[in-house]
Amino acid sequence: MSHLPASPMAPPKRKHFPIRPGTLWLDRVLQSCLAILAINWVFQGMRGMQAKELAFRIGLGVLLALASALPLGLTGLPALLAAVAGALVGHSVNFLLNGQFWVCARYCRAYRGEALRIERATWDLAQEIARLPWLTEAAFIGSRARGGRASDRSDIDLRLVFPPGVLGWWRTNWLLLRLRSRALVQGVPLDLYAYDRPEALHRFDQDEPLLVVKDTLGRLHRAFPGRAAWFGQLAGTAIEGRVA
């Protein structure tokens, strides 16, 4: 997991927010580690989610809140206090297990990542995703797609596309939960989302490459003909799935 070595590290890059602060002091507050983590705790990346992932996150949050509030109510706490405490606990658990804590922590000066860990995690994720027979579309974006060596402050931007049907919705959301929870324990900054349709990837810079791990239906290459490229081979062995 990330740690605090004695050697110095490059300062974190600025965190971009949809609304620009009007004053210097507010900008400094928003760029602070505590503010960035607090804002992410509140919104939990929901602004970047589409309907299928958002519905699961809200539902899971409600279940976690109920699971926390009911035992508190049995202790004799007033119902309103138990409900509020349960909502806060459930929201926090959802943030940790199904969120992106280490992605946000990269903006803190005290954060120390490991470039080698990030590169290894990228290869491992590509291999794991490619071996899932039910998942049809997945790709890396951002710095991992552009190539080159990772830095200690890099993250892994991975995007999936929901397969059709209720079973595809269920499997994909549980995959998101499993991968995010594991990334939390391992200290890996994994920026992971699943989209309802491949066209959602148009929201990102169209001049940057799309490093495709799976494209069983060929929709990613059709939608992004000049941008999509196959992930390639891992240690000289082709990854299972349609990669070259």
Is residue 163 over pLDDT 50? yes
183: its two tokens: 């990334």
Considering the domain architecture, whether residues 124 and 95 belong to the same structural domain is answered as no
Is residue 109 over pLDDT 60? yes
Considering the domain architecture, whether residues 48 and 127 belong to the same structural domain is answered as no
Is residue 41 over pLDDT 50? yes
Is residue 241 over pLDDT 50? no
Which residue, of 47, 69, 99, is where some domain finishes?
A: 99
Beta bridge partners of 238: 233
Structurally, the chain folds into a number of domains equal to 2
What's the confidence (pLDDT) of residue 9? 66
Residues in the chain: 244
Range of the domain at 86: 24-99
Considering the domain architecture, whether residues 232 and 120 belong to the same structural domain is answered as yes
